[in-house]
């Protein structure tokens, strides 16, 4: 049978929720080559990463041959050696979620056989397996191992436990006989792999209740289909299948949707395959082969199949550290989808395993007032500046302040903010920081905070957001870059919800009777701290579109400087 393996291959207040399009991270993204056991970067391959993202396993050039390794940040790359009687050839192919159990194949006095490694025991041959066997996957607690062995000239997928020993899983109903197991769910109850059929190979899903069940092919296929890995609960299976043009394509299988192709990279490719999947099945990694050669790829439902090198450079800013690297295949991904391992060509031209960390998501701001898109809905959005008529004689002035200014009955709306999770520590008077640039006016301070958990929290300020300022609020206990920015923008002098030529007349009248100097929030169009004829010019620019149009008109305002 032919099995594709991993080794082959806006408004007057403009609100900005900080971080832009890039993820807000508690742990910054990183990339590193893992080196090899010789210390000379001659050869290494990172095959898998533990679900917690802390342990990488694979094979590496060593002093006398290629040996299985286990890598952590603390220990670096450590050889697992070989079985007794072996000639320094071993490969680590599977790892349990916390990295404490590793399985694979090693040379021994009997030939190549499957092994299980633990710190306490070292590398131990799996009892009941003979020459030509291989262990490729292990359950969450390390007690169930899967792989294949040979019965005569036929490969047989197996399930192994210390109590029951080796149990063959059989084959798909259609001859000829042959099967291999490549992955297993955390609870050990779902096993995936490929079996032989008359036309070639077909991916399967095995359970104790249903036995080995074929998953079919992508549309147009029928000769070669292999499952490589499964999500934590076994509900999502990934691999590759031939298609109408006979080339292999990566697939994602679920009971509800069946087998679905992952598509192609934006640059195009001839062949692609999936080798690893996150715990919930939402992130898939593998390789694609195009005109420029093999490339590691990553898939998610929102972005589709993408070149991983491009993602790391463009989305995560890792261009400098990736200079000179060619990432050829991504072999495994952590349960949360944030850590990926694979193989590539390093800047020296050698084949080297690598580890990319996309960063750990931290506590972010998910909503605040006014909303990020800032639509104007009369009666539902009170966070408008300058003054607008409200119910009865009461007026609402902007955001933040709690005091009553000289101009009649006025109330202020507190800042309301909700987070993706509970910040630690929670927002308080002491750890919410307010900064203003430039500092022409008095920058407000936090006077009161109410709320709990992820929010919403209501935050009152000592005075409103200053005119002409970019006011930024940052919160302890949140990710770097999680911030609120309010930019005070002018325009609707008449307070009727639109900016028009009627506002010019209102501004001229205010300049003539001195009212403009009393209410800079309303009449200081240029936000320079002085109301004068320059504000008339500024308002004209708003009206003709050469100055930032108020978001009443649907125009997004730029981020604060």
Ordered DSSP codes for 429-487 = TTTEEEEEES-SSPPP-EEEEE--TT--EEEEESSPPPTT-EEEEEETTS-TT-EEEEE
**Do 387 and 410 form a contact (C-beta atoms < 8 A)?**
yes
> How confident is the model at residue 361, as a pLDDT?
64
Measure the CA–CA gap between 197 and 195, rounded to whole angstroms: 7
Q: Residues 302, 307, 313, CA angle at the centre, nearest 5°?
A: 95
Q: Each residue of 100-144: pLDDT tens digit?
A: 999 999 999 999 999 999 999 999 999 999 999 999 999 999 999
Helix (H) or strand (E) run with residue 77 in it: strand 76-81
- Cα–Cα distance measured from residue 51 to residue 492, given in angstroms and rounded to the nearest whole number: 55
- Write out the two tokens for 435: 């900064």
Q: Tens digits of per-residue pLDDT, 221-258?
A: 999 999 999 999 999 999 999 998 768 999 999 999 99
pTM listed for this prediction: 0.68
pLDDT, tens digit (0-9, with 9 covering 90-100), for 417-476: 888 888 888 999 999 988 877 665 677 888 889 999 998 898 887 766 665 456 778 888
Domain with CATH 2.120.10.30 in the chain: 45-168
List C-alpha distances in Å: 556 to 377, 387, 441, 549. 16, 21, 25, 8
| DSSP-derived 3-state class of residue 205 | strand
Read off the tokens for 20. 């832009």
**Which of 2.120.10.30, 2.40.160.20, 3.40.50.2020, 3.40.50.720 would CATH assign to domain 45-168?**
2.120.10.30
Within 13 Å of residue 161, how many CA atoms lie on the same side as its CB? 10
- Full strand arrangement of the beta sheet holding 101-106: 90-95, 101-106, 113-118, 122-125
């Amino acid at each position: 049978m032919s099995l594709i393996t991993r080794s082959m291959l806006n408004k007057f207040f403009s609100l900005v929720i900080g971080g832009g399009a890039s993820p807000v991270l508690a742990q910054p993204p990183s990339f590193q080559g893992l080196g090899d056991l010789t210390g000379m970067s001659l050869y290494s391959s990172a095959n898998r990463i533990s679900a917690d993202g802390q342990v990488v396993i694979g094979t590496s050039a060593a002093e006398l041959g290629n040996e299985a390794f286990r890598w952590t940040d603390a220990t670096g790359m450590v050889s697992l050696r070989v079985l007794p009687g072996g000639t320094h050839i071993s490969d680590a192919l599977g790892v349990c979620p916390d990295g404490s159990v590793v399985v694979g194949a090693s040379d021994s006095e009997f030939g190549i056989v499957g092994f299980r490694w633990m710190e306490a025991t070292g590398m131990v041959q799996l009892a009941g397996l003979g020459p030509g066997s291989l262990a490729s996957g292990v359950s969450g607690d390390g007690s169930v191992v899967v792989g294949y062995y040979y019965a005569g000239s036929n490969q047989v997928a197996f399930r192994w436990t210390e109590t029951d020993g080796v149990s063959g899983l059989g084959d798909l109903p259609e001859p000829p006989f042959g099967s291999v197991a490549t992955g297993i769910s955390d609870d050990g109850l779902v096993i995936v792999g490929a079996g032989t059929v008359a036309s070639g190979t077909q991916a399967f899903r095995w359970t104790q209740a249903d036995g080995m069940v074929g998953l079919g092919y992508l549309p147009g296929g029928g000769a070669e289909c292999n499952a490589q890995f499964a999500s934590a609960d076994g509900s999502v299976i990934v691999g590759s299948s031939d298609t109408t043009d006979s080339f292999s394509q990566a697939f994602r299988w679920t009971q509800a949707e069946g087998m679905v192709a992952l598509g192609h990279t934006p640059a195009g490719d001839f062949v692609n395959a999936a080798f690893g999947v996150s715990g919930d099945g939402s992130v898939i990694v593998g390789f694609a082969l195009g005109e420029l050669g093999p490339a590691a790829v990553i898939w998610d439902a929102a972005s589709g199949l993408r070149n991983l090198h491009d993602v790391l450079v463009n989305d995560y800013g890792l261009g400098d550290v990736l200079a000179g690297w060619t990432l050829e295949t991504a072999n495994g991904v952590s349960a949360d989808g944030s850590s990926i391992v694979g193989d590539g060509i390093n800047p020296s031209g050698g084949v080297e395993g690598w580890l990319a960390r996309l960063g750990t998501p931290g506590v972010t701001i998910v909503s605040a007032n006014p909303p990020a898109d800032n639509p104007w809905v009369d009666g539902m959005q009170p966070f408008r500046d300058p003054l607008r008529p409200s119910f009865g004689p009461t007026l609402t002035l902007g955001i933040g302040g709690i005091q009553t200014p000289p101009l009649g009955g006025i109330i202020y709306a507190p800042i309301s903010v909700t987070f993706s999770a509970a910040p630690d520590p929670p927002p308080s008077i002491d750890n919410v920081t307010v900064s203003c640039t430039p500092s022409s006016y008095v920058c407000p301070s936090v006077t009161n905070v109410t709320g709990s958990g992820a929010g919403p929290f209501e935050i009152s300020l000592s005075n409103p957001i200053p005119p002409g300022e970019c006011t930024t609020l940052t919160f302890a206990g949140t990710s770097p870059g999680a911030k609120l920015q309010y930019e005070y923008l002018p325009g609707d002098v008449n307070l009727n919800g639109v900016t028009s030529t009627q506002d010019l007349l209102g501004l001229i009248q205010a300049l003539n009777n001195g009212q403009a100097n009393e209410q800079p929030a309303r009449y200081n169009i240029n936000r320079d701290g002085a109301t004068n004829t320059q504000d008339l010019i500024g308002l004209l620019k708003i009206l003709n579109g050469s100055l930032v149009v108020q978001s009443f008109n649907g125009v997004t305002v730029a981020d604060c400087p």
